[in-house]
Structure formats: structure tokens, C-alpha cells
Amino acid sequence: MSQSALIVAKFGGTSVADYEAMNRSADIVLSRPDVKVVVLSASAGVTNLLVSLAEGQPDDERQHLLKNLGQIQYAIANRLRSAAVIHTEIERIIENVALLAAKATHSPCAELTDEIVSHGELLSTLLFTEILRERDVPAQWFDVRKVMKTNNHFGRAEPNIATLAELAQSLLVPLVNDSLVITQGFIGCEENGLTTTLGRGGSDYTAALLGEALQARRIDIWTDVPGIYTTDPRIVPEAVRIDEITFEEAAEMATFGAKVLHPATLIPAVRNDIPVFVGSSKTPEAGGTLVDNQTRHQPQFRAVTLRRSQTLLTLHSLNMLHARGFLAEVFAILARHNISVDLITTSEVSVALTLDTTGSTSSKGSLLTQGLLTELSSLCRVEVEENLSLVALIGNHLAEATGMGKEVFGVLDPFSLRLICYGASSHNLCFLIPSDEAEDVVRTLHKHLFG
């Protein structure tokens, strides 16, 4: 089989949540002969349990979390013919988690968090491989850390693309010619051999990176919804599925809060022009969304997205007036603290910017450390606002469109708009609003524009 015909398929947490879900996912894999690499998330709920353990818990709570972890995985193992063998493996892995979690009670840290959290994907891939073998499928379990070499930015590590391509050719290509390869999403390994993670939702990114390294024909993302919708159907039940969408539109949607795809997923796909299919493992027959370079139809308005938990920093300084270098200094400080700026607007004596707080594996702690605030305060007066949400209108040629003010803002009269970003991209119009108004804004906009 030529490499160009190969498909990489990724299954999310709900798609491997229990024995029935894993078997549905196995049916999908086996009905598509070109799928040769399968990337799995941890079973639903497992990553959150592991993150809690990594935060350092008192004895009783730790035992409770470990028990819950075991229940999820043993419930799948008990349905297997070789249950006793798999039980032993699961027991060994959970014992390792218990040791690491005990260590975290004394000295929690980002390195330890990544090590603990990685066990979710190790467990799900072990179980899924066994399900396939019981169907007499030549399935091979593969430790993705052998190829996914990253930097040591624990919690949100960046892969080394060149090394991955080289190792995938030497270690993975020989395997896919003879068997179905089952591997882990989300995790990697830095140069000293320590486990890293690619950030929450990083299994999509893993699938795309492996697709790129193996020159795949397509990347399939199987989740719990049959494609990408005009907005979150949980907020607006009338939301409509988008059957085909361009990389640019999908990337904007993912970046601004659409949870179906991880924001970084599309980068490797775009680099290599690899189509990405998004479908539901519960109803594969329902079809899905194809993300590709070109689509037959590119409407002015494509979707409305919502991203919660936004932080707004407003920096005031009279030194900004007719001065050079103020913004450069602000960005240098933020870069030193590994802060990614999201949206920005400026006036003569102030600059307002939102911080990208999404993506890190650990959910604990604010990006606004005392060290960062102290450095910024030496330069200017700092105001911090939280409990904000970002609503983004995604579309095409928005920056050149006429009548946008009336079309969009005319219906938002009842709401408080804290910040507006428009014109920098032809694919989005964004505004920051109080979180308690966010869903109403999404519903109002969706009804008016997609009605």
C-alpha cells in the first residue's frame, strides 16, 4: 500500500469511553481499509481524574480518584476474553499513577503533571488494541513517544517536526505496511526522556502531525458530534452542520472556541494540503464535515463561536503618547512569561489586550503571576478584568464588506461590548462581552444571521 493512500484516524474520549464505544470505533476502523494508524484520546473522564491527582490530593481524595480511574478501565477490561492478562497490565499502570500521585502531594509540578496525565492514553490504547486482536485483526500497540519528540515546555509542548518526520519514516512506516498501528494522542517526550503533553485537546494535533509525517491522504477526526456546526448545538439547537469548509474558516473557528477541532490541528494539514474529515463515532452513517483547501461555496457569514474564561489586561501610561518602543517592551515582558496575546486594541495612552489562556494541560493557576504583574506595573498602570467571554463571527471577506456595523451590531443593542476587533482578518469579527451575556449574544447573532 502506498503511503499516499494512508488515512490517520483519531478517536476522542467519548469514542473510547466504554466497551460499546470502543467497539463502535473498531467497526469504523475496520470498515475503512485505508485507515492504517489510529490515534486515541484517554477514555472520557480519565484525563480530568489524572489532572486532579497531579494537583496533589490528601489521602482519602487520592484513593477515591484512583478507584474511579480503575472502575472506568476495568469495566472495559472485564468484557474482554483475555480479561485476566489485561487486568494485570491495568493494575500495573494504575499502581504507577498511585506512586506518582503520592509524590504530587508533596511537590506538584508541570513535569509530574505530564507524566501522570499521560497514563490515560496509555490505558485506552492498550484496551483498544486488545479489542481489535480479539477480532483477529493484526493490531500493533505503538508508544508515540518514540517518534513525538518535543521541547520541554511541559503542559503545552511543541513537537520537533523534522525529527518526527525522520523517526516516523524509520519506525512507523515499516509497521503500517504489515499491521494496524494503535497509538496515543496528546503525549510526547523531551530530549531527556521525560514525558510531555501537547496541551488539552492535543490528540487532534497528534493525528495531524502523524498524518503530515506519513504523508497521509486524509486525517479523520471521530468525536461525539457529526461534524462542524454553524454554532454550538448545545447553545443553539437549530444550528446547522457545515458539510464542507475551508482550512482558513475552520482554523478561525477552532481558534475562537469551536471545540470540535483543536486549534493547532489544522496547521500540519494546511502545510501539506491534507483534507480533514470530522464525524461522529456514534453515528458514522450520518456523514460529517470535510475541511479542505477549497469549497464550492464560501458565504459571507459561516459560523458564530464562543470562547469562555477570557482575561482582559488594560495597560495605561502617559509615556505611550508620541513615544516609540512602549508596545515592544510590553510584548517582551509577556514573552518572557510565556504569555500569548490574543486580541489587542490601542488608544493614545492605553492598550487593551486579551490573553490566550486555553491549551495547557494543567487547569490550575492563573497566567497572571505576581512576577508578571510586578514587571508590567513598573512600566504602566495595570487593570485586570475577568469573567469575560469572546464571541467571534466567522466568515469570508468580512474586512471588505459594507454594512457590517448595521448587520452585526444593530442586533446587539441590548448587550455590553467590552472590546471589538475587526479588520485585521477577513475571516473574523470578534468582541469581548461579560460571560453572563455570552450565550444570549450567540443565540441572537445566530438567529439574525443564519435564522
Question: In 3D, which of 226, 11, 248, 34 has the Cα closest to residue 131?
Answer: 11
Q: DSSP secondary structure string, 108-176?
A: --HHHHHHHHTHHHHHHHHHHHHHHHTTT--EEEE-GGGT-BB-S-TTS--B-HHHHHHHIIIIIHHHH
Q: Known binder of ligand: residue 10?
A: yes
Give me the pLDDT at residue 424, please.
80
385 lies in some domain: no
In a domain? residue 429: no
Residue 243 lies in a domain: no
Q: Is 259 marked as binding a ligand?
A: yes
Distance from C-alpha of 231 to C-alpha of 349, rounded to nearest angstrom: 37
pLDDT score, position 302: 93
Any domain includes 197: yes
Would residue 201 count as lying in a domain? yes
Cα–Cα nearest to 137, from 10, 296, 27: 27
Provide the pLDDT for residue 4.
64
Asked if the structure places residue 398 within a domain, the reply is no
**Range of the structural domain that residue 36 is part of:** 7-223
**Any known ligand binding at 278?**
no
For residue 340, the one-letter residue type is S
Question: Is residue 121 in a domain?
Answer: yes
13 assigned ligand-binding residue: yes
User: Any binding-site annotation on 232?
Assistant: no
223 is in an annotated binding site: yes
Residue 1 is predicted with a pLDDT of 44
Taking the C-alpha atoms of residue 124 and residue 13, their distance in angstroms, rounded to an integer, is 9
Q: What is the CATH number of the domain that holds 28?
A: 3.40.1160.10
Q: What's the total number of domains in the chain?
A: 1
pLDDT for position 260: 81
- The phi, psi pair for 74, rounded to 5°, reads -65, -30
Q: Is 11 a known ligand-binding residue?
A: yes
Residue 325 resides in a domain: no
Q: How far apart are CA 368 and CA 311, in angstroms?
A: 9
Q: What is the pLDDT along the chain (451 residues), one digit of tens a residue?
A: 444 689 999 999 999 999 999 999 999 999 999 999 999 999 999 999 999 999 999 999 999 999 999 999 999 999 999 888 899 999 999 999 999 999 999 999 999 999 999 999 999 999 999 999 999 999 999 999 999 999 999 999 999 999 999 999 999 999 998 899 999 999 999 999 999 999 877 899 999 999 999 999 999 999 988 999 999 999 999 999 999 999 889 988 888 888 787 777 888 998 999 999 999 999 999 999 999 988 888 899 999 999 998 989 999 988 777 667 888 889 999 999 888 888 898 888 889 999 866 555 554 456 788 999 999 999 899 999 989 999 999 999 888 888 888 888 889 989 999 999 887 888 889 999 999 999 999 999 999 999 8
Model pTM? Answer: 0.85
Ligand-binding annotation for 229, yes or no, is: yes
